[in-house]
Amino acid sequence: MKRKFIRIELGCDYEVRFTYWSHGICRFIKTTKCGYNFLNLETSKCVFNRHLYPSKYDNHKSGDWFCVNNDMNINKINKK
């Protein structure tokens, strides 16, 4: 499974899509001490069964970089 690194900001809204389905508009939240997830704003349920964890690679150690599946498209929604 191929992966990519993406910068995701806590508390911001994103459009979360896979190549095979869309989760719509989701907010990135911290669910546990170390784990993160996307909260679907329409259903109030977390998108993933497991959590996302910040990258520990030297190039992406700032805490807002996450390693996600290549099939996943995460686009930040700009609020005006």
Distance CA 1, CA 63 (A): 23
Structure tokens at 70: 């290549």
The pLDDT value given to residue 61 = 67
For 7, 29, 65, the CA distances from 25, given in Å and listed in that order, are 17, 13, 20
- Show the beta-strand stretches assigned E in the chain: 3-7, 13-18, 22-30, 36-40, 45-46, 65-69, 72-76
Range of the domain at 15: 3-76
Look at residue 8 in the predicted model and tell me its pLDDT.
92
Q: For the chain, how many structural domains are there in total?
A: 1
Report pLDDT for 24.
86
**20-79 pLDDT per residue, tens:** 777 889 999 999 888 999 999 999 999 888 888 888 877 666 778 888 888 888 999 976
